[in-house]
Amino acid sequence: MLRPVTDRGPAIVVCNSCRHSADMREDEQGRRGGMRLADALRIARTADVRYAGIDVQEMPCLFACKEHCTIHLRAPGKLSYVLGRFTPDEQAARAILDYAVHYAASEHGQVRYADWPEGVKGHFITRSPPEGYVVE
């Protein structure tokens, strides 16, 4: 059931089975939004060296099915976040990766609101503490 991943640093886990949008399960070519977002994240990551330290992983269903185009941002010893309601495109991918760069540089996974890219504001669904901790 669980598949190990090689990178244990900051990672964006993309729900590759997510709906394309609130109204559409797939796009005109029959592709799910989660797959399109995963592709956009990989393309953006490859195109900009600032994103080299952020891994892009995917798995089916993050169980946030009332949302669409959902990701889980995580790193060992840090708060993790589930974000969703993205358009599966390059602009969303860059906003997610820009936020992930700040997240990776933070001590505990908390990023100052002033550093949030506009493209992630309003997309947060949950935050979870790392194992063994809760937020003060």
Each domain of the chain, given as residue ranges in start order, spans: 11-128
For residue 69, what are the CA distances in angstroms to 31, 43, 120?
Answer: 12, 16, 12
User: How far is the C-alpha of 126 from the C-alpha of 67, rounded, in Å?
Assistant: 12
Residue 45's pLDDT band, with cuts at 50, 70 and 90, is very high
Q: Is residue 78's pLDDT more than 90?
A: yes
Q: State the DSSP string of 15-27.
A: ETT--SSSS-SB-
pTM score > 0.75 for this model? yes
CATH fold of 11-128 reads: Glutaredoxin (3.40.30)
Lowest mean pLDDT among 21-35, 97-111, 117-131: 21-35
User: How far is the C-alpha of 50 from the C-alpha of 15, rounded, in Å?
Assistant: 23
Across the chain, mean pLDDT equals 95
pLDDT at 116: 98
Q: Is residue 112's pLDDT more than 80?
A: yes
